[in-house]
Chains A and B, each alone.
Chain A
Amino acid sequence: MSRWFFFFLAIAFGIALGLLYGWVGNPVRYVDTSPDTLSRDYKSDYVLMVAEAYKAESDLAAALRRLALLGNSPPGDIVREATLFAESLGYSDNDVNLMRSLSAALESGAQSPGTPAP
């Protein structure tokens, strides 16, 4: 009976050792990730950058190319979600408006493909 007890105790000790190694000794270090894994606040700022650049360049294709790095979701959804999150974080009105403008441009671009961006 005590042999079984120590047997399971050894298993538990082994798991604990593994977790200790994995979480403390040699924890996962995130490297070589892609932008779609960024946390929401970084994604929001990324979308803001796209919106800022779009305001100056009026290049919808470039904006789409940049947004494509944030995942497979439709670009409009990405921008909308980022805008909502930006509002919840208290981004300035100016920044939020830029993101909304990009969202509107994406919508109008999606409705009439081939139309030059405003």
Chain B
Amino acid sequence: MRSERRGPWYLLTGLVIGVVIGVLYAWRYPVNYTNTSPAALRADFKDQYRTLIAAAYMANGDLVRAKARLELLKDQDVYRTLSEQAQRTLAEDRYPQEARALGLLAIALGQAPPTIALASPAQTQAASPQATGATLPALTSTPGAPQSGTPASTPTPTRPPATLAPTFTPLPTRTATPTQGAPFILEREEQVCEENIKEPLIQVIVQDAAGQQVPGMQVIITWEGGEERFFTGLKPELGLGYADFTMQPDIAYTLRLASGGQPVLNLIAAECEAADGSRYLGSWRLVFVQP
């Protein structure tokens, strides 16, 4: 009778003791982080990893290898992540060479059609502020898209396949390197009234003497109390020498190329008239050419 009154509490007690033993064991032998993959890195370490990938890419020009390494980080949108990091690094102004390397790698990836597809305009709305055209289509990597020469990543840590020596890829940055020579001059400055551009932009197009668009040119925009730097070519679908910046109303901007040349003063978002008579803020298009 007495034991029946106790009921099954002893079982619960045993269970609790078991759980306590398990927890104590876990605390006595805590998880030791070893054999992790780059995908598990903290965000700032991932940034540094990406920077190193870009620096190595600048050295060896092997885009296949760079892509294989970037895949290890398992970024959802490699192109955008690289572009945004390039802009961030540029804004920090500590390591301009690294910013440039990141930007050029992003451009090279943007030029690689097999892994890139156009995103829907809705996706584009999630783009970063300021130096991105929120109304313009952006590039995203296609999940699961076949990648020539780059085997799918596996959970097991494996040496990036592209480290195999014979897979040298012609250096895409050969075309992404800004032309050396005379400074660029402003050939054309025009107001753009296009209703499909939802926000007023400063659109910059840089061309060399041969009329080819030049990626990787650093553009500096200043206004009262602020400055922004960005590169051409980070929206390759709009041209390798293209870059844009979203203007705020009633703010006067000054734009110049970091490589030198005359600054363009007093750029203010001006009103345009729509077909239905309504008014909206237009954009500016600046075309720089090398004489």
- Judged by a CB distance under 8 angstroms, whether A31 is at the interface is yes
Q: For residue B38, which residue of chain A has the nearest CB?
A: A42
> Are the CB atoms of A66 and B10 closer together than 8 Å?
no
A15-60 interface (Cβ within 8 A of B): 15-19, 22, 28-35, 37-42, 44-46, 48-50, 52-53, 55-57
Q: Output the least CB separation between B177 and chain A (Å).
A: 14
Contact (A38, B36) CB under 8 Å given A45-B160, A94-B165, A95-B163: yes
Q: For residue A19, which residue of chain B has the nearest CB?
A: B22
How many B residues have CB within 8 A of the partner chain? 47
Chain B residues lying within 8 Å of A37, measured Cβ to Cβ, are 33-36, 40
- Judged by a CB distance under 8 angstroms, whether B144 is at the interface is no
The interface residues of chain B, by DSSP majority, are classed as helix
Contact (A55, B59) CB under 8 Å given A11-B21, A91-B163: yes
A8 vs B11: C-alpha distance when bound (angstroms): 8
Contact (A6, B11) CB under 8 Å given A11-B18, A14-B19, A45-B159: yes
Chain B residues lying within 8 Å of A12, measured Cβ to Cβ, are 18
A57-96 interface (Cβ within 8 A of B): 57, 66, 69, 89, 91-95
- Judged by a CB distance under 8 angstroms, whether B15 is at the interface is yes
Residue interface bits A77-118, CB-to-B below 8 A is 1, else 0: 000000000000101111100000000000000000000000
- Judged by a CB distance under 8 angstroms, whether B272 is at the interface is no
> Are the CB atoms of B18 and A22 closer together than 8 Å?
no
Which residues from chain A sit less than 8 Å from chain B, CB to CB?
A: 3, 6-19, 22, 28-35, 37-42, 44-46, 48-50, 52-53, 55-57, 66, 69, 89, 91-95
Can you list 26 residue pairs at the A/B interface with Cβ under 8 Å? A6-B10, A6-B14, A7-B14, A10-B14, A10-B18, A14-B21, A15-B21, A16-B18, A17-B18, A17-B19, A18-B18, A18-B22, A30-B33, A37-B34, A39-B157, A41-B157, A42-B37, A42-B38, A42-B72, A42-B157, A45-B69, A48-B163, A57-B97, A91-B163, A92-B165, A94-B165
